[in-house]
């Protein structure tokens, strides 16, 4: 007999359920697209547009874009109150967090 998710979750202690929810939230957050991120912070496109000094329809375009400039993405994230970090992952090597793209231009 198969169990529903609710039945399965009920078999865990409250502490275990909280840990599962925490991990679930973490995984979901890692996969959010910009629109979902904005909504998670309870912001409208108009509010983000105002913070970025853009037209509201520009926010819609940014959220649908698949190839953004890093500066555009960084500004969008900063207006939500976050900070964009660029991470380079290499097979069998240490992950590198690029601290500032501006520093790269000064070499």
Query: For 41-51, b where at least 16 C-beta lie within 10 A, e where not — what string?
Result: eebebebbbeb
Which pLDDT belongs to residue 29?
67
Q: Hunting for tokens 């913070």 — which residue is that?
A: 51
Whether 106 shows a pLDDT value over 50: the answer reads no
Overall pTM surpassing 0.85 (yes/no): no
Predicted confidence (pLDDT) per residue in 25-79, tens digit:
776 666 567 888 888 888 888 888 887 777 878 888 888 777 778 888 888 888 8
Please check whether the domain covering 33-105 is classified as CATH 2.130.10.10: no
Six token digits for residue 94: 């240490």
Six token digits for residue 30: 């890692």
């Amino acid at each position: 007999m198969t169990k529903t998710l609710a039945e399965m979750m009920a078999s865990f202690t409250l502490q275990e359920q909280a840990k599962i929810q925490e991990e679930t939230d973490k995984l979901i957050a890692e996969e959010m697209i910009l629109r979902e991120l904005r909504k998670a912070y309870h912001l409208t496109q108009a509010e983000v547009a105002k913070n970025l000094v853009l037209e509201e329809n520009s926010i819609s375009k940014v959220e649908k874009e698949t190839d953004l400039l890093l500066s555009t993405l960084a500004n969008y994230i900063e207006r939500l109150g976050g900070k964009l970090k660029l991470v380079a992952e290499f097979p069998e090597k240490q992950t590198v967090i690029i601290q500032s793209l501006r520093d790269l231009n000064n070499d």
